[in-house]
Amino acid sequence: MTLLERYKATRKRTEDICEPLETEDYVVQPVADVSPPKWHIGHTTWFFETFILKDNYTGYQEFNPDYNYVFNSYYETVGARVIRTDRGNLSRPTVSSIYQYRKYVDEAMTKLMECGCSKEVEELITLGLNHEEQHQELLYTDIKYILGNNPLFPAYSKNQVSTVQNIPGADHLISINEGIYEIGFNESGFCFDNELGRHKVYLEPLKIAKGLVTNGEYIEFINAGGYKNFTLWHAEGLDWVRNNKVESPLYWHSIDGQWHYFTFQGLQAVDVHGILNHISFYEASAFASWKKMRLPTEFEWEAAADQITWGSRWEWTESAYLPYPGFKKAPGAIGEYNGKFMVNQKVLRGASDVTSPGHSRKTYRNFFHPHLRWQYTGIRLAQ
């Protein structure tokens, strides 16, 4: 597949994700962490316009100069922006205007690639495509949060995103030998800068679950009073549970004594054999403690990756999100992509059912604050 073909396929997939939405669905922002779908559509377009077309397409005219303020996410280098919590307050630009913007930029990007690009520009386009694939996953999870917090629990689509069954189970442990392991990206192709700096780590012998924790296993934790047993929780996690009155995973509802959860097909009875989803680090750690086990570190996870079943959930690890040895930020705005977030966050490894095809690899380092759970997050145990 040529770079232009990949560009067109990636951009189309974003629009396909939004195709089932009504116009009203595009503008909702229930919480700060969830962006309106129309903002994602505009922001991913802004990325190509700002970082590629403005500097590399002779005579290019911005679609609308005000859009830099509206669709800049967190890049201090490129100017002021609407704060994240206010993205849902923007009735304008309209959804139709943003799609016109998207078409305008796509036409310019097509002409640019048809005329030929330097290696440096091709690398920026590849970064932009991987950036858009990240937002495709965010679109799925943000849309789910928007619909899942609607009291009518409307279905996103009758064609639910595929679910990988948890085979084998979380109690099937495999052994990882003591030794020195190399960690980090060391292959051809694309990776993010936070994967670079391949280095050696020493690991003690451990056992790690082949599969992930199921809904049924987590129900046992709930029924055993797991959310009320303070001995299982970090102090900060217990405060989070008490302050937010958390009693179950996100999207779970007890109806007539039976657990239900919101899915892309609407509200359904919880599948006890399905893989647990939408769990915070606090909950993952407490569950592991209840099982008299622990979460793996990101280095243990990567060392075991070829022997475990992964890809259906982002898996919380015990590792803080920190730079690898020799990590360097790129100059300019691109250097703001990952390094500025290396504080107060936990690393997640793997991928999820809504990760874009071809976007996952065993060195990928996702990262979120420990209380967040609107992403497709699950639990793998170790000891």
- 329 and 182, same domain (yes or no): yes
- 141 and 189, same domain (yes or no): no
Distances (CA, A) of 151 to 105, 155, 245, 251: 37, 12, 19, 12
Instruction: Give me 264's structure tokens.
Output: 């892309």
Span 79-84, average pLDDT: 92
3-state secondary structure of 151: coil
- 314 and 200, same domain (yes or no): yes
Span 8-37, average pLDDT: 98
> Which residues are paired to 174 by β-bridges?
208
Residue 94: inside a domain: yes
pLDDT value for 167:
59
- 237 and 303, same domain (yes or no): yes
Whole-prediction pTM value? 0.96
Q: What are the tens digits of pLDDT across the range 262-316?
A: 999 999 999 999 999 999 999 999 999 999 999 999 999 999 999 999 999 999 9
Instruction: Choose among 138, 377, 162, 373: nearest CA to 263.
Output: 162
Residue 47: inside a domain: yes
pLDDT value for 235:
98
Span 137-145, average pLDDT: 98
The pLDDT-based confidence of 126 (bands split at 50, 70, 90) is very high
Helix axes 281-290, 215-223, angle to 10 degrees: 70
Query: Which residue among 114, 148, 182 closes a domain?
Result: 148
- 245 and 295, same domain (yes or no): yes
pLDDT value for 164:
52
Backbone angles phi, psi at 289, to 5 degrees: -65, -40
Residue 143: inside a domain: yes
- 235 and 295, same domain (yes or no): yes
The pLDDT-based confidence of 77 (bands split at 50, 70, 90) is confident
- 199 and 296, same domain (yes or no): yes
Q: What are the tens digits of pLDDT across the range 242-266?
A: 999 999 999 999 999 999 999 999 9
Query: Which residue among 131, 148, 165 closes a domain?
Result: 148
- 141 and 225, same domain (yes or no): no
> CA–CA separation, 180 vs 268, rounded Å?
46
Q: What are the tens digits of pLDDT across the range 342-369?
A: 999 999 999 999 999 999 999 999 999 9
- 277 and 315, same domain (yes or no): yes
Span 121-148, average pLDDT: 98
Residue 167: inside a domain: no
Span 135-147, average pLDDT: 98
The pLDDT of residue 182 is above 80 = yes
- 127 and 257, same domain (yes or no): no
pLDDT value for 245:
98
Q: Which domain holds residue 126?
A: 3-148
pLDDT value for 330:
83
- 310 and 194, same domain (yes or no): yes
Instruction: Give me 32's structure tokens.
Output: 């700060």
pLDDT value for 383:
97
Residue 52: inside a domain: yes
Residue 199 CB neighbours (<10 A):
12
The pLDDT of residue 52 is above 90 = yes
The pLDDT of residue 336 is above 80 = no
The pLDDT-based confidence of 171 (bands split at 50, 70, 90) is confident
> Which residues are paired to 206 by β-bridges?
176
Number of domains in the chain: 2
Span 70-92, average pLDDT: 92
pLDDT value for 191:
96
> CA–CA separation, 357 vs 355, rounded Å?
6
- 118 and 179, same domain (yes or no): no
Query: Which residue among 111, 132, 148 closes a domain?
Result: 148
Residue 157: inside a domain: no
pLDDT value for 72:
93
The pLDDT-based confidence of 224 (bands split at 50, 70, 90) is very high
CATH code at position 213: 3.90.1580.10
The pLDDT-based confidence of 1 (bands split at 50, 70, 90) is very high
What is the DSSP-derived secondary structure letter of residue 276? Answer: P
> CA–CA separation, 156 vs 376, rounded Å?
16
CATH code at position 136: 1.20.120
The pLDDT-based confidence of 334 (bands split at 50, 70, 90) is confident
Radius of gyration of the chain (CA): 21
Span 17-28, average pLDDT: 97
